[in-house]
Amino acid sequence: MATYVLQPFQSAKAIFRGPADHGTIVLTVKGFAPEFNYGFQLDELSKAPDLVIAVRAWTGQHSQKLAGFTAHHRFPSSYVPYLTLVGVEGTMTVPVRVLPEAEVEDSSWRAYAG
Protein backbone atom coordinates (compact mmCIF):
# COMPACT_ATOMS: atom_id res chain seq x y z
CA MET A 1 0.00 0.00 0.00
CA ALA A 2 1.37 3.43 -0.96
CA THR A 3 1.84 6.20 1.60
CA TYR A 4 2.19 9.96 1.04
CA VAL A 5 5.37 11.01 2.85
CA LEU A 6 8.18 13.57 2.94
CA GLN A 7 10.94 13.04 0.38
CA PRO A 8 14.67 13.79 0.20
CA PHE A 9 15.76 16.69 -2.02
CA GLN A 10 19.10 18.20 -2.99
CA SER A 11 18.43 21.62 -4.49
CA ALA A 12 15.75 24.24 -4.95
CA LYS A 13 15.18 27.54 -6.77
CA ALA A 14 12.41 30.05 -6.12
CA ILE A 15 11.42 33.11 -8.09
CA PHE A 16 8.77 35.75 -7.49
CA ARG A 17 6.94 37.75 -10.12
CA GLY A 18 4.17 40.28 -9.88
CA PRO A 19 3.23 43.05 -7.46
CA ALA A 20 4.80 42.62 -4.00
CA ASP A 21 1.45 42.19 -2.27
CA HIS A 22 -0.12 39.60 -4.61
CA GLY A 23 2.29 37.88 -6.97
CA THR A 24 3.35 34.32 -7.65
CA ILE A 25 6.23 32.26 -6.33
CA VAL A 26 7.47 29.56 -8.68
CA LEU A 27 9.40 26.84 -6.88
CA THR A 28 11.49 24.12 -8.54
CA VAL A 29 12.94 21.30 -6.43
CA LYS A 30 15.33 18.56 -7.58
CA GLY A 31 16.50 15.45 -5.83
CA PHE A 32 16.94 11.70 -5.75
CA ALA A 33 14.40 9.38 -4.15
CA PRO A 34 13.75 5.63 -4.20
CA GLU A 35 12.87 4.61 -7.75
CA PHE A 36 9.28 3.55 -7.02
CA ASN A 37 8.25 6.89 -5.50
CA TYR A 38 5.81 8.87 -7.64
CA GLY A 39 3.49 11.87 -7.66
CA PHE A 40 6.00 14.37 -6.29
CA GLN A 41 4.31 17.50 -4.98
CA LEU A 42 5.21 20.69 -3.17
CA ASP A 43 2.63 21.28 -0.44
CA GLU A 44 2.19 24.66 1.24
CA LEU A 45 2.25 24.11 5.03
CA SER A 46 2.05 27.79 6.00
CA LYS A 47 1.54 31.06 4.14
CA ALA A 48 3.68 34.20 3.91
CA PRO A 49 5.38 35.78 5.74
CA ASP A 50 6.67 32.43 7.07
CA LEU A 51 6.19 30.37 3.92
CA VAL A 52 6.90 26.68 4.54
CA ILE A 53 6.71 24.09 1.74
CA ALA A 54 6.90 20.29 2.11
CA VAL A 55 8.37 17.98 -0.56
CA ARG A 56 6.13 14.90 -0.64
CA ALA A 57 5.39 11.92 -2.85
CA TRP A 58 3.71 8.59 -2.83
CA THR A 59 5.99 5.77 -1.75
CA GLY A 60 5.25 2.33 -3.09
CA GLN A 61 7.56 -0.64 -3.15
CA HIS A 62 10.79 -0.11 -1.17
CA SER A 63 13.97 0.08 -3.22
CA GLN A 64 17.62 0.89 -2.61
CA LYS A 65 17.95 2.20 -6.17
CA LEU A 66 17.50 5.97 -6.53
CA ALA A 67 15.93 7.92 -9.38
CA GLY A 68 16.12 11.64 -10.04
CA PHE A 69 13.03 13.84 -9.85
CA THR A 70 12.07 17.45 -10.48
CA ALA A 71 8.98 19.02 -8.96
CA HIS A 72 7.50 22.42 -9.88
CA HIS A 73 4.74 24.39 -8.27
CA ARG A 74 3.32 27.92 -8.40
CA PHE A 75 2.04 29.53 -5.21
CA PRO A 76 0.02 32.76 -5.09
CA SER A 77 1.80 34.80 -2.43
CA SER A 78 2.99 38.18 -1.35
CA TYR A 79 6.74 38.66 -1.72
CA VAL A 80 8.95 36.93 0.85
CA PRO A 81 12.77 37.12 0.76
CA TYR A 82 13.05 33.39 1.50
CA LEU A 83 10.96 30.28 2.12
CA THR A 84 11.58 27.11 4.10
CA LEU A 85 11.56 23.77 2.32
CA VAL A 86 10.91 20.63 4.40
CA GLY A 87 11.94 17.11 3.40
CA VAL A 88 12.64 13.79 5.04
CA GLU A 89 16.27 14.75 5.73
CA GLY A 90 15.53 18.18 7.23
CA THR A 91 14.92 21.74 6.08
CA MET A 92 16.52 24.20 3.68
CA THR A 93 16.15 27.96 3.53
CA VAL A 94 15.64 28.95 -0.11
CA PRO A 95 16.17 32.57 -1.20
CA VAL A 96 13.39 33.96 -3.41
CA ARG A 97 14.68 35.85 -6.45
CA VAL A 98 12.50 38.65 -7.80
CA LEU A 99 12.04 38.34 -11.54
CA PRO A 100 12.04 41.74 -13.25
CA GLU A 101 9.03 42.24 -15.54
CA ALA A 102 11.37 42.57 -18.53
CA GLU A 103 12.40 38.93 -18.04
CA VAL A 104 8.85 37.56 -17.80
CA GLU A 105 8.48 37.50 -21.58
CA ASP A 106 11.90 35.90 -22.02
CA SER A 107 11.79 32.25 -23.12
CA SER A 108 14.13 31.33 -20.25
CA TRP A 109 11.39 32.38 -17.79
CA ARG A 110 8.91 30.06 -19.43
CA ALA A 111 11.42 27.19 -19.39
CA TYR A 112 12.40 27.86 -15.76
CA ALA A 113 8.83 28.26 -14.57
CA GLY A 114 7.91 24.80 -15.79
In a domain, residue 112? The reply is no
In a domain, 105, yes or no: no
How many structural domains does the chain have? 1
The answer to whether the beta carbons of residues 85 and 53 sit under 8 Å apart is yes
Q: Is 62 exposed, middle or buried (0-12, 13-18, 19+ CB in 10 A)?
A: exposed
Residue 98 phi/psi, 5° resolution?
-85, 130
CB count within 10 Å of CB 29 equals 25
Look at residues 110, 108, 102, 98 and name the one whose alpha carbon lies nearest to residue 19.
98
Q: Is residue 91 part of a domain?
A: yes
- Kindly state whether residue 63 falls inside one of the protein's structural domains: yes
* pLDDT of 78 strictly over 50: yes
Domain that holds residue 89: 3-98
What confidence tens digit (pLDDT) does each residue in 26-63 have?
Answer: 999 999 999 989 999 999 999 988 999 999 999 987 88
